[in-house]
Amino acid sequence: MNRRQFFRTATGAATFVRIPYVSAAGAAKYDLIVKGGRVIDPSRKLDAIRDVAIAHGRIAAIGANIRVDAAEVVDARGKLVVPGLIDIHTHAARIKDGPALCLADGVTGWIDAGSQGADRIGETIAIAKAAPQPCRVLINIGRAGILPEGDTMDINRADVGAAREAIARNREMIAGVKARLSREVVGPNDFEVLRRAQEVASPFHLPVMIHMGQTVSPLPKLLALLKPGDIVTHMFAPPPNSIIDDAGHILPEVMAARRRGVRFDLGNGRVGHLRWDMTERILQAGFLPDTFSTDWTPEGRASQVIDFPNVMSKFLMLGMSIDQVIACATVNASRAFAVFRNRGTLKVGAPADIAVLELREGTFDFVDNYENKRTGRQRLFPSATVLAGKRIATRA
């Protein structure tokens, strides 16, 4: 359906919402209704019990008690209905079933952040292309990708020519450049590796995502190389070179980077990125993440990360509001990469990507990257996912 037809449909649907009862003739309008859930859509500042009606793969109407028989009904009573989750730092393209596993967790869009470099980028791209949901990959500036001995410990692996060539060949699937800069990945090469990452990205106008924390160079020196739209992942990394000083002040260079449009992202991961006390101090200083991300790996499914809703729940425990938590995983994340534009929202006309989550009350243990355990009273669980208007999975 073309754009003009679509807007006619959307307008027609909105009219139906205002009518208390809709005849069977009107019923054909919707393919699916997510019924009776608490709809939280930070993009529209909406938090209310609503029905979400879907037609032709798009959000067709949102209203209280839409009295229409749709082809399919997802009963969301007692659950949260939020825009499909967007995870901007995963390694979902490392394994074949990564995308489907993420989708079952409510993740309707993801970025593979540098699993591979120029030499084997084709492998991650093949998985991304076969994925059910919209996704892209970042190319690791290290041409051999993630290496146990350090991606760019050998500076020759930060090969500008090879990376540019790979991007030129795969322009539609490579959405940026990843530079992992911690000591055990680059040694003293962090600044030069980041400089080369920017050299790769600039002719293509692509963002660079840096993996911060435990770097040899002081963070301000690295931040100086970041341009608007670039992303700092692992923003809660403990010293050396965290974003906050010992006195509890966010570094002025970090504030300046945010002001000029650099994004700060969680990147939960499993090693060296997340420690409760640091996270608490940074949140207390008023520096909230722009985006959440899991740094998802098959190993992370078994410990610490588990799933995206679990990662989000940690920040409920740390005092962020449900609205802030959902925003970090939806609308904010949609702004980070062009592929997600018009997603991360439930506005009428947007692609019908929806995560139905269950917010359970109880006692839930969360572990940081240093085996510190904390107990929260709420945990989000994935319940159902709708992708492009089709219900795809049920879990939990």
Contact residues: Zn ion, CB under 5 A: 113, 295
DSSP codes, 165-200: HHHHHTTTTEEEEEEE-SHHHHGGGHHHHHHHHHHH
* CB nearer to Zn ion: pick between 138 and 386: 138
| Shortest reach from residue 174's CB to Zn ion, in Å | 16
354-367 and 80-83 as β-strands: parallel, antiparallel, unpaired?
Answer: antiparallel
* CB nearer to Zn ion: pick between 212 and 325: 212
| Shortest reach from residue 134's CB to Zn ion, in Å | 19
* CB nearer to Zn ion: pick between 66 and 231: 231
| Shortest reach from residue 113's CB to Zn ion, in Å | 5
| Shortest reach from residue 193's CB to Zn ion, in Å | 15
| Shortest reach from residue 271's CB to Zn ion, in Å | 10
* CB nearer to Zn ion: pick between 111 and 113: 113
* CB nearer to Zn ion: pick between 69 and 299: 299
Please name the residues in contact with 328: beta carbons below 8 A apart, sequence gap of 6 or more.
266, 288, 289, 290, 291, 292, 312, 315, 320
H or E element: which one contains 301? helix 298-302
Identify whether the C-beta of residue 208 lies closer than 8 Å to the C-beta of residue 230: yes
Helix (H, G, I), strand (E, B) or coil at 355: strand
H or E element: which one contains 303? none
| Shortest reach from residue 111's CB to Zn ion, in Å | 10
Q: Which residue is nearest to Zn ion (CB)?
A: 295
Rounded Cα–Cα distance for residues 387 and 369 (Å): 32
* CB nearer to Zn ion: pick between 290 and 295: 295
* CB nearer to Zn ion: pick between 116 and 332: 116
The torsion angles phi and psi of 57, rounded to 5 degrees, stand at 80, 5
| Shortest reach from residue 263's CB to Zn ion, in Å | 15
DSSP 205: T
* CB nearer to Zn ion: pick between 47 and 184: 184
C-alpha to C-alpha distances, 379 to 19, 288, 315, 330, 360, nearest whole angstrom: 37, 20, 10, 18, 5
DSSP codes, 267-283: ---SSSS--HHHHHHHH
| Shortest reach from residue 237's CB to Zn ion, in Å | 12
Task: Classify the phi-psi angles of 342: left when phi > 0, otherwise alpha if psi is within -120 to 50, otherwise beta.
Answer: left
C-alpha triplet 120, 210, 234: angle, nearest 5°: 110
